[in-house]
């Protein structure tokens, strides 16, 4: 094994560069600052468009363990579908997927603070709207990091999950729905350069 490692050592930087490019080409990105979304396409291409141009769906996934659900995005003007993102892991319930979509819309809405979730806590102070909100409400900047997770799951976390499962998600209006039909396909294509239309 050590002989193989020695033989491959001169090629280490090449393989690292190749892996980095591969990971970068397959990543998806949601920018709160610009409102743009990048989705990876085959061949290292990306589709970049405002979040308003994507429709979100709950996709049913049938696996050996049963029926699961995940968030799927469809670009309204190209018909491209995206379900293989870090946000689109399979979930046991539709409610979890709908809560994820709600959280993502709030994340992209710069008029309100970042969603209060563990993944975003280390960055809350970097967002001006969130920093002002946290200062005004006296939020502990280390709430999630210092939380006794097991105790939280038994108490407040269990109540939070119950509320999420009982929430009337089908009655909630998508913030992006009013954007539908505001522009025709011809007008849209005139606004976008041809290189923005990956095939």
List Cβ neighbours of 137 (8 Å cut-off, separation of 6 or more).
none
Packed helices 156-166 and 94-108: angle between N→C axes, nearest 10 degrees: 100
How is the chain split into domains, by residue range? 27-109+175-199, 110-174
In sequence order, what are the beta bridge partners of 26? none
94-149 pLDDT tens trace: 899 988 888 888 899 999 999 999 989 999 999 999 999 999 999 999 999 998 88
Contact of 25 with 198, CB cutoff 8 Å: no
**What are the angstrom distances between the C-alpha of 161 and each of 55, 71, 93, 127, 156?**
26, 19, 12, 27, 9
Provide the phi-psi class of 66: left if phi over 0, else alpha when psi is between -120 and 50, else beta: left
Instruction: Specify the pLDDT at position 156.
Output: 87
Instruction: Specify the pLDDT at position 36.
Output: 92
Instruction: Specify the pLDDT at position 151.
Output: 86
**What are the angstrom distances between the C-alpha of 138 and each of 20, 45, 61, 134, 135?**
40, 44, 41, 6, 5
Instruction: Specify the pLDDT at position 176.
Output: 56
Residues of the chain below pLDDT 70: 1-26, 87-88, 172-186, 188-199
Instruction: Specify the pLDDT at position 116.
Output: 92
**Phi/psi of residue 90, each to 5°?**
-75, 140
Instruction: Specify the pLDDT at position 25.
Output: 46
Instruction: Specify the pLDDT at position 64.
Output: 82
**What are the angstrom distances between the C-alpha of 146 and each of 59, 100, 121, 150?**
35, 23, 11, 12
In terms of pTM, does the model score above 0.85? no
Instruction: Specify the pLDDT at position 149.
Output: 81
Instruction: Specify the pLDDT at position 21.
Output: 44
């Amino acid at each position: 094994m050590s002989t193989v490692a020695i033989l491959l050592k001169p090629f280490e930087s090449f393989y690292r560069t190749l892996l980095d490019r591969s990971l970068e080409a397959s990543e998806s990105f949601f920018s709160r600052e610009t409102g743009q979304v990048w989705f990876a396409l085959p061949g290292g291409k990306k589709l970049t468009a405002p979040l308003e141009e994507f429709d979100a769906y709950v996709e049913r996934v049938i696996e050996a363990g049963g029926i699961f659900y995940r968030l799927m995005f469809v670009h309204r003007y190209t018909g491209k579908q995206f379900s293989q993102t870090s946000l689109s892991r399979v979930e046991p319930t539709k409610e979890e997927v709908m809560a994820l979509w709600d959280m993502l819309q709030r994340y992209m809405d710069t008029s309100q603070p970042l969603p209060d979730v563990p993944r975003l806590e280390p960055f809350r102070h970097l967002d001006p709207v969130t920093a002002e909100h946290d200062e005004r409400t006296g939020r502990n900047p280390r709430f999630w990091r210092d939380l006794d997770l097991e105790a939280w799951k038994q108490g407040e976390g269990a109540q939070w999950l119950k509320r999420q499962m009982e929430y009337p998600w089908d009655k909630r209006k998508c913030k992006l729905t009013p954007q539908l039909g505001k522009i025709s396909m011809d007008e849209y294509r005139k606004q976008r350069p041809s290189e923005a239309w990956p095939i």
